[in-house]
Amino acid sequence: MKQINNKIYLSIETSGLNPIDFKIIEIAALKIDEHNNKSLFHKLINPQQDLSDEAIKLTLMNNEDLKKQKSIVEIKNDFLNFIGSTNIVVHNKEFIMGFLDKEFEDEIKNEIVDINEIFKNRFPNESSSFSSILEKFNLKIETSFSDTLNEVLLLPNVYQILLDK
C-alpha cells in the first residue's frame, strides 16, 4: 500500500468555467499528515460578482449567502499557511490551477498530483469525470455537504485505489 499521507486533497467550486471571467466561490482542502491526522480548510468565498442563474442552479449557492463571506484576499494567508509546501492531490489540475494561479497570483508552488491524468493513463478509453471515476471504483458518499467538500473527502480513496492498480 503506497502512501496517501503527507498530502493535501483539494477541490474548488467556481462561478464559471474560465478563470479570466469567473472566480472561486468555495475551496476545500483536506490535509492528512504522516500520522494519518486529518485537518480541514473549508471556506465559501465572496466572488464580488453575482452568480449567473446557471451557476446558482449548478452550485446550489446563492448571491446573498456568498456576499456574507470573506473575499479571496481575506482568506489568502490562512489558505497558504494551511497548504504550506505539502504536495496537493486534485482532480483536473489544469482547471483548478488556472483559478488558483489567478486568485493567488501564482504563489502556490506545491507539487500537484492530478487524479484525472493518472486515471486517463490507466484507463484511456473511459470517462475521467469525477463522477465516472467514483462509479468505476464503486465509491459514494452520502452527506448533505457540498460537492466540493465531498470531493476532498473521496479524493484520498480514489488516489489510493489508483496507486494500487
Strand partners, 14: 24
Residues 154/4, Cβ–Cβ less than 8 Å? no
Q: Is the dihedral of CA 54, 58, 62, 66 positive or negative?
A: negative
pLDDT at 3: 82
Task: Report the pLDDT value the prediction gives residue 2, as an integer from 0 to 100.
Answer: 55
Beta carbons of 27 and 42 less than 8 angstroms apart: yes
Q: What per-residue confidence (pLDDT) applies to 1? A: 45
Q: If we measure between CA atoms, which residue out of 8, 34, 40, 38 comes closest to residue 159?
A: 8
Compute the distance between CA of residue 89 and CA of residue 137 in angstroms, rounded to an integer. 18
pTM beyond 0.85, yes or no: yes
Locate cell 486533497: which residue? Answer: 9
Give average pLDDT by consecutive 10-residue segment, the chain, 165 residues. 85 96 97 95 96 92 95 97 97 97 95 97 96 96 92 96 90
Cα separation, 79 vs 94, in Å, equals: 20
Q: Tell me the CB-side half-sphere exposure of residue 56, using CA atoms within 13 A.
A: 10
Question: All domains of the chain, ordered by start, with CATH?
Answer: 7-164 (3.30.420.10)
The rounded distance, in Å, linking the Cα atoms of 7 and 14 is 23
Provide the greatest CA pair distance for the chain: 45
Give the model's pLDDT for residue 153.
96
Name the residue among 21, 84, 17 with its Cα closest to residue 54: 17
Q: How far apart are CA 142 and CA 150, in angstroms?
A: 9
